[in-house]
Structure 1
């Protein structure tokens, strides 16, 4: 993964992901992926765009919308009134981020033993 990331537990002991400022809004999208099956579904959509089956594909979740294009994926935060409401990253990196999250989904709701 080109971008730095780290996992942490919030005050409710829920596993979260922290991303660098230029792509930080993608965390809101990624953290809304609830199951490995849903992650696989999104990965398939990304691959369909990368392979030219779709010109682009839009996914809307709770507070975010991502527009997946062949080279870049643009995330728009739907419920923020700040100037900074869009981020973009390379589509290949977006796919990799989903894969990374998929590997952590089972850990998400487990309580930290520390």
Structure 2
């Protein structure tokens, strides 16, 4: 993954992800993926776009929408009060980010043992 990221626990103990500034809005989309099965569905959609099965595909979650195209994925945030309202990243990197998140989902709501 070419972008910086780190995991942290919020005050409620839930595992969250912090992304570098140029893609930080993607965290709101990624954190809305609650299960490995749902992550697999989205990863498959991205692979279908990358492989040319779909020219583009849009996924809307709670506060965000991602428009996945072969080269770039654009995220639009619906409820931000200040700019930026959109971020974009390479679709291959978006897929990698979802794979990283998927690997963390099982520990997302576990209590921090430290």
TM-score (norm 1): 0.98
CA displacement, residues 45-66 of structure 1 (integer Å, 9 cap, x when unaligned): 0000000000000000000000
> 2 CA distance for matches of 1:27 and 1:69?
19
Unaligned runs of 5+ in 1: none
**Runs of 4 or more off by more than 6 Å in structure 1?**
none
Which residue of the partner structure matches residue 69 of structure 1? 69
Task: Give yes or no for the alignment of 1:32 onto 2:32.
Answer: yes
Which residue of the partner structure matches residue 86 of structure 2? 86
Which residue of the partner structure matches residue 96 of structure 1? 96
Q: Aligned pair count? A: 114
Query: Which secondary structure state, in structure 1, belongs to the residue aligned with residue 52 of structure 2?
Result: coil
> 1 CA distance for matches of 2:5 and 2:22?
12
> 1 CA distance for matches of 2:105 and 2:30?
10
C-alpha displacement at 1:81, in angstroms? 2.5
Unaligned runs of 5+ in 2: none
> 2 CA distance for matches of 1:9 and 1:33?
16
> 2 CA distance for matches of 1:80 and 1:22?
15
